[in-house]
C-alpha cells in the first residue's frame, strides 16, 4: 500500500547517515547523491529543484530505471501530514483529465515525510520571468481551460486548494500546452473553511479572506482570476506589498469588479496587433466574472468553462483555427496512480517552457500529435 509509511533501516540507504547528524541530534539533511527508500522503489537524489519553509523538492531517479520524479521532502509534522491527507482526497481523480499533479507514493524516513510526484516543467512564475512580456491570448485561453478543469474537479469533491498562485501552477513536460495544479499543503475541505482562516498570499488573496468574511471554494476562482490577469498584464495588476494597498486598489473605483481591467486591453493589443478586439473583450468579461467582489456572484468553474472565451464561439476563420490547434491535445493513457509497478517513462517532445509567449506558431504533426514551435513575429 502506497499510503503505508514504513520504518526504514538507515543501513538500507547506502549512505552514512551518522555523518550527517551530530551528537546533538540535529535533523537529518538529505543531500545530492543520497538514496531514499520508498514503498515502490529506491530513489537517488540528483538535484534540488526548490526549497521553502516546508522543506525541499528534489529531482530523483528511480533505482534500476530511467524514471524521473519530483520528491517533496518535509519535516514529519502537521504540514507534511496535511498534504498527504489532501492527496488522499484527490487520488481517485484522473490527474491528466483534471490537470492535477500526480502522486505515486509517500513514505517516511529519518523523521521526514516524502511524497513522490510526477516530474513537471517550469512554473508559470518561471515562464513570466523568462518572458517579461504578457502572454499571448491564445496561450492564456489554453491555460484558463486547464486551470478551470482543475477547479471544477476540486469543487466536485468539496475541496478548496487555498494557495493558488503562479508558483503553484506548472507546465507539464508534454508536447502540448498542459498545466498542472500542484502543492496541496494548504488544501482544505470547503465545509471546514472558517472565518479568519489564514490562506492565500497577498497578490492572489480574495476580498473575503482579507475582510474576514465567510469562505468557500470561490477563493480559488478569485486567485486563478488573478493568475490570468497577471499573465495578460505581464505583472501583478495591483499593488501587492500589503493587504491594505491591495484591497484599496481593488475597491477605489468600482464596488462590484476589480478596476482598470478594460484599460489592460490597450496595453495587450499594442503587443499583439493580430488579435481582434472582440477576443480581448470576451476575455476581460470572463476575468470580471472571476474577479467579482461578492463571492456569491462569482462565476463557478462549470460556468467559466462554458464562457465564450473558452468555447471560442466568437472566433472564426484563421484566428479560431490557431486557437483550436493550440488547445488540442492527444488521447493518452497514463499509469494508474495506485500501482507500485514499473512506470513507463512518458514520451515527450522537447518544447521551450517559454512556449506561451507573444511569438509562437503551432503545427499538428503526424499521428502522435506533437507541437513544433517556431519563433514568429505574429500568428500566421
Catalytic residues: 163
* CA 347 – CA 124 distance, rounded (Å): 22
Sign of the alpha-carbon dihedral angle for 143, 329, 61, 339: positive
**Per-state percent for the chain, helix, strand, coil, to nearest 5:** 35, 15, 50
Whether residue 72 is annotated as binding a ligand: the answer is: yes
Q: Name 80's Cβ contacts closer than 8 Å, sequence gap at least 6.
A: 54, 55, 74, 112, 113
Sign of the alpha-carbon dihedral angle for 170, 174, 177, 178: negative
Of 281, 295, 301, residue with least CA distance to 146: 301
Half-sphere exposure of 26 (CA within 13 A, CB side): 8
Half-sphere exposure of 251 (CA within 13 A, CB side): 13
* CA 27 – CA 111 distance, rounded (Å): 8
* CA 169 – CA 150 distance, rounded (Å): 11
Give burial (CB, 10 Å; 0-12/13-18/19+) of 340.
middle
Residue 55 is inside which H or E element, if any?
strand 55-62
Instruction: Tell me the sheet residues that pair with 100.
Output: 181
Instruction: Report whether 363 contacts 168 (CB < 8 A).
Output: no
- Which residues are documented as binding site for ATP? 72
Amino acid at each position: 500500500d502506497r499510503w503505508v509509511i514504513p520504518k526504514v533501516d538507515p543501513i538500507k540507504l547506502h549512505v552514512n547517515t551518522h555523518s550527517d547528524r551530530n551528537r546533538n541530534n540535529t535533523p537529518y539533511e538529505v543531500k545530492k547523491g543520497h538514496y531514499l527508500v520508498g514503498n515502490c522503489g529506491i530513489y537517488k537524489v540528483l538535484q534540488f529543484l526548490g526549497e521553502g519553509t516546508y522543506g525541499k523538492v528534489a529531482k530523483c531517479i528511480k533505482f534500476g530505471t530511467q524514471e524521473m520524479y519530483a520528491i517533496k521532502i518535509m519535516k514529519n509534522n502537521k504540514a507534511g501530514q496535511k498534504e498527504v491527507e489532501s492527496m488522499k482526497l484527490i487520488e481517485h481523480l484522473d490527474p491528466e483529465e483534471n490537470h492535477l499533479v500526480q502522486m505515486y507514493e509517500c513514505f517516511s524516513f529519518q523523521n521526514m515525510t516524502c511524497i513522490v510526484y510526477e516530474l513537471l516543467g517550469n512554473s508559470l512564475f518561471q515562464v513570466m520571468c523568462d518572458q517579461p512580456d504578457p502572454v499571448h491570448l491564445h496561450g492564456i485561453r489554453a491555460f484558463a481551460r486547464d486551470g478551470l478543469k482543475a477547479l471544477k474537479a476540486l469543487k466536485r469533491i468539496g475541496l478548496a486548494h487555498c494557495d493558488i498562485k503562479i508558483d503553484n501552477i506548472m507546465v507539464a513536460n508534454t508536447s502540448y500546452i498542459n498545466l498542472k495544479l500542484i502543492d496541496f499543503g494548504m488544501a482544505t475541505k470547503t465545509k471546514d473553511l472558517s472565518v479568519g482562516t489564514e490562506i492565500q498570499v497577498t497578490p492572489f488573496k480574495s476580498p473575503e479572506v482579507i475582510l474576514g468574511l465567510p469562505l468557500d471554494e470561490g477563493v480559488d476562482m478569485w486567485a486563478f482570476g488573478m493568475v490570468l490577469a497577471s499573465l495578460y498584464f505581464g505583472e501583478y495588476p495591483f499593488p501587492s506589498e500589503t493587504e491594505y494597498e491591495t484591497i484599496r486598489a481593488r475597491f477605489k473605483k468600482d464596488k462590484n469588479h476589480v478596476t482598470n481591467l478594460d484599460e489592460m486591453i490597450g496595453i495587450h493589443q499594442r503587443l499583439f496587433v493580430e488579435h481582434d478586439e472582440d477576443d480581448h473583450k470576451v476575455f476581460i468579461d470572463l476575468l470580471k466574472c472571476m474577479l467579482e467582489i461578492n463571492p456569491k456572484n462569482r462565476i463557478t468553474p462549470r460556468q467559466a468553462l462554458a464562457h465564450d472565451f473558452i468555447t471560442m464561439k466568437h472566433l472564426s476563420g484563421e484566428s479560431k483555427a490557431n486557437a483550436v490547434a493550440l488547445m488540442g491535445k492527444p488521447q493518452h493513457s497514463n499509469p494508474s496512480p495506485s500501482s507500485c509497478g514499473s512506470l513507463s517513462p512518458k514520451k515527450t517532445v522537447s518544447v521551450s517552457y517559454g512556449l506561451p509567449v507573444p511569438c509562437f506558431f503551432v503545427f499538428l504533426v503526424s499521428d502522435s500529435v506533437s507541437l513544433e514551435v517556431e519563433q514568429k513575429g505574429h500568428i500566421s
